[in-house]
Amino acid sequence: MADQAVLQINGKTLELPLIVGTEKEVGIDIAVLRDKTGAVTFDPGYGNSGACESAVTFLDGELGILRYRGIPIEQLAGHASFLEVSWLLLKGELPTAAELAQFDAAEKSHRDLPDFAVQLIKSLPRNVHPMAGLAAVFATLSSVEGPTKDLEAGLAANELRLLAQIPTIAAYLYRHTEGLDFVAPDKNKAYAANYLNMMFKGTKFETNDADIANALDLLFILHADHEQNCSTSTVRLVGSAQAGLSASIAAGVTALWGPLHGGANQAVIEMLDEVVAHGGDVNWAVAQAKDKNSTFRLMGFGHRVYKNFDPRATIIKVQADLVLSRLGKNDKQLALAKGLEEAALHDEYFIARKLYPNVDFYSGIIYRALGFPPGMFTVLFAIGRLPGWMAHWNEHNAGKAKIGRPRQIYIGKNARDFVALNKR
Ligand code: CMC
């Protein structure tokens, strides 16, 4: 392949170097474009723009490949714990047994929240959306952030604390909105089991089932990173202004909240309820989703990058069956979702646009069966995504990256005079 691209503009010829990644992805380096030609590129939604070089995650949307630090998601999902995957994302290599034991012990010892964070949660309105609460707590945790270089148990101490505390924040937010007393972290329980305990102890959803905790751990792994998605790009962009780790994560949380991103898992359940209200007619839903005069979309379908299948969705579909049978539940929404998937996959509109179920299509069904209310679904996504956000924040700050500052093409009014108030 040629090692440069040639651009002709206004009678000038510009040679632009190519950047080739380890998986042979090709980028055209346009860093000199504006200086040399006065023009910028135009790519709303950034579908054709590489914002950085990154060594964290590789994904190939055409082939349905997702790898963290080179290791396929299918292998990690079957064999590693969420803590191992977090280490992998943050440090670049799988931990040794000794490293993992040290990390595990340190994580367990940092689960308690500072008192001000507990008080902050208690002060929020009972009907606060937990994603709003999560962003607020992360923003305030910046006040106890230590120097970036401080290490503990082989990890950046700031990262270790956020990883240990996010389940506690999430559980306390839930119990606050439910008017329940908080359940303190249990240092004898593993990551996901402790989270389930803090969430549901003393409620009808209380569980000590290790298989259920393992399934939740696996869901965290599936969400742990996804390269330059909306929330991760937000974390990197905010971090590029040299905002601190927790403050940058707070911004990532609010980006994730949106229904086109992490909020889709909640939107899927609401959509399935709507289909139920229409007699469970999946063909009605498919017709609505295709109707350009309707705002209805098949939530949990389609992806900016995956144009064949989402490997996470394949794993989650199997988990949905396992978890529901483990709980002895015959979930009508699962049957409905499968019917909807079947109908859409055979419909020309969805085939032509390469729209397939994504990670969110089945995850909400599992979460609901476990007892999580829809408002908590995106919080579960955030718990999983935290190590990925932090790995990218780190990567960005370790390099010589500039502050992120896109250009625009101005389409507003040309220069004109101010008109005094009494003349308008
Ligand atoms: N239902 C119906 N039509 C759809 C859907 C859908 N879910 N998704 C895309 N389309 C159509 C869209 O109308 C457009 O049609 P046309 O070419 O006729 O105008 C075409 O497919 C391309 O869609 P797009 O919106 O230009 O694609 P995008 O890459 O900008 O958007 C997406 C990707 C994920 C935002 C979109 O597919 C969507 O809104 N899906 C539903 C929300 C969802 O499930 N989001 C979770 C994404 S996975 C979790 C995560 O990583 O955040």
The whole-number pLDDT of residue 333 equals 81
The whole-number pLDDT of residue 176 equals 98
Q: Catalytic: which of 110, 360, 392, 396?
A: 360
- Contact call for residues 390 and 86 (beta carbons, < 8 A): no
Whose C-alpha lies nearest to ligand 1, atom 34?
303
Q: Is the pLDDT of residue 400 over 80?
A: no
- Give the confidence band of 1 by pLDDT, cuts at 50, 70, 90: low
CA atoms lying within 13 Å on the CB side of residue 417: 5
- Contact call for residues 19 and 27 (beta carbons, < 8 A): yes
Q: How far is the CA of 297 from the centre of ligand 1 (A)?
A: 8
Q: Write the pLDDT tens digit of every residue in 7-47.
A: 999 898 999 999 999 999 999 999 999 999 999 999 999 99
Tell me, yes or no, if the two domains 73-254 and 264-304+313-370 fold the same way.
no
Domain positions in the chain: 4-50, 73-254, 264-304+313-370
- Contact call for residues 357 and 341 (beta carbons, < 8 A): yes
Atom nearest to 297 CA in ligand 1: 1
Return the sign of the alpha-carbon dihedral for residues 263, 265, 267, 269. negative
Q: What residues have CB less than 8 Å from 405, skipping those under 6 apart? A: none
Q: Write the pLDDT tens digit of every residue in 164-174.
A: 999 999 999 99
In the predicted model, what is the mean pLDDT of residues 315-340? 86
Q: Which two tokens stand for residue 196?
A: 């389930």
Q: How far is the CA of 298 from the centre of ligand 1 (A)?
A: 8
Q: Catalytic: which of 303, 310, 331, 392?
A: 303
Q: Write the pLDDT tens digit of every residue in 242-294.
A: 999 999 999 999 999 998 988 888 889 999 999 999 999 999 999 999 999 99
Q: Which two tokens stand for residue 199?
A: 């969430």
In the predicted model, what is the mean pLDDT of residues 131-158? 96
Q: Is 360 a residue of the active site?
A: yes
3-state secondary structure of 251: helix
The whole-number pLDDT of residue 345 equals 92
Model pTM score: 0.93
Q: Which of 265, 304, 307 has most ligand 1 atoms within 8 Å of CB, for mutation? A: 304
* Percent of the chain whose pLDDT exceeds 90: 84
Strand ranges for 21-96 from DSSP E: 26-28, 57-60, 65-68, 71-72
Domain 264-304+313-370 bears CATH identifier 1.10.230.10: yes
Q: Which of 49, 303, 385 has most ligand 1 atoms within 8 Å of CB, for mutation? A: 303
Q: What residues have CB less than 8 Å from 24, skipping those under 6 apart? A: none
- Helix, strand, coil in percent for the chain, rounding step 5: 55, 10, 40
In the predicted model, what is the mean pLDDT of residues 77-83? 95
Q: Is the pLDDT of residue 373 over 90?
A: yes
- Give the confidence band of 222 by pLDDT, cuts at 50, 70, 90: very high
DSSP code at position 407: -
Q: Is the pLDDT of residue 399 over 90?
A: no
6 beta partners: 15
The whole-number pLDDT of residue 112 equals 98
Q: Is the pLDDT of residue 330 over 80?
A: no
In 201-346, where does DSSP find H-type helix?
210-223, 230-240, 245-257, 264-277, 282-290, 311-326, 332-345
CATH of domain 4-50: 2.20.28
Q: Is 303 a residue of the active site?
A: yes
Of the candidate CATH numbers 1.10.580.10, 1.10.10.60, 3.30.70.1520, 1.10.3720.10, the domain formed by 73-254 belongs to: 1.10.580.10
The whole-number pLDDT of residue 408 equals 96
The whole-number pLDDT of residue 352 equals 95
Q: Quick one: which H or E segment has residue 387?
A: helix 377-398
In the predicted model, what is the mean pLDDT of residues 368-394? 96
In the predicted model, what is the mean pLDDT of residues 410-419? 97
Q: Which residues line ligand 1 (CB under 6 A)?
A: 45, 226, 229, 260-262, 264, 289, 297-304, 353, 355, 358-360
In the predicted model, what is the mean pLDDT of residues 115-139? 98
Q: Is the pLDDT of residue 398 over 90?
A: no
Q: How far is the CA of 234 from the centre of ligand 1 (A)?
A: 20
